Amino acid sequence: MTAHPDPAAALDPTDAAAPVHVAWVLRSLIALCVATSGVVHLSLWWDGMRNVDVVGPAFLVNGIGGLVLAVLLFAWTSIWPLLGSVAFGLTTFGAFVVATSPVGLFGVHSRWQGAPEWLSAITEVAAVLLAFAAIWRERPRRA
């Protein structure tokens, strides 16, 4: 089987050994996950989190970052957007876990309830898992 470190190369219809769109399917799913989390955070920011010190601006940065990552996953076939998706998912989910702990996050105490919380948590974990799968799939292979 031919190695394809570039997802675009995996879509070459002249290469009989190329997998059928696996790299782009993974990147599409990751983009959907990070964009969904980003939109949820922008929505929550708009609905009142913008008035919360420290965490409010973080919601805005997170929302914009998720949308930028979604675009980069298609525009830049490097490993960097995949690593960015791992970092995005881990830090965002990690911040939510800390916010749901008794300590809270910068005075914010969240709970594991509500559609936005669960949608974000699920998409962030999925982004990490899918990004690791994409990194493994797109890795250069030795003949």
pLDDT the model gives residue 35: 98
Averaged pLDDT score across all residues of the chain: 88
- CA angle, 98 then 101 then 102, to 5°: 135
pLDDT the model gives residue 23: 87
Percent of the chain with pLDDT over 70: 85
Whether the pLDDT of residue 39 is over 60: the answer is yes
Rounded mean pLDDT, 21-32:
93
pLDDT the model gives residue 16: 41
Structure tokens given for 10: 């995996």
Closest CA to 19 of 2, 36, 44: 2
pLDDT the model gives residue 19: 58
Q: Kindly give, in sequence order, each residue whose CB lies less than 8 Å from that of residue 13, ignoring residues fewer than 6 positions away.
A: none
Q: Largest Cα–Cα distance of the chain, in whole Å? A: 57
Report yes or no: 22 and 7 within 8 Å, Cβ to Cβ: no
pLDDT tens-digit readout, 50-99: 999 999 999 999 999 999 999 999 999 899 999 999 999 999 999 999 99
pLDDT tens-digit readout, 97-112: 999 999 999 999 999 9
Report yes or no: 17 and 125 within 8 Å, Cβ to Cβ: no
Residue 53 CB-density burial (10 A; 0-12 exposed, 13-18 middle, 19+ buried): exposed
Rounded mean pLDDT, 20-25:
79
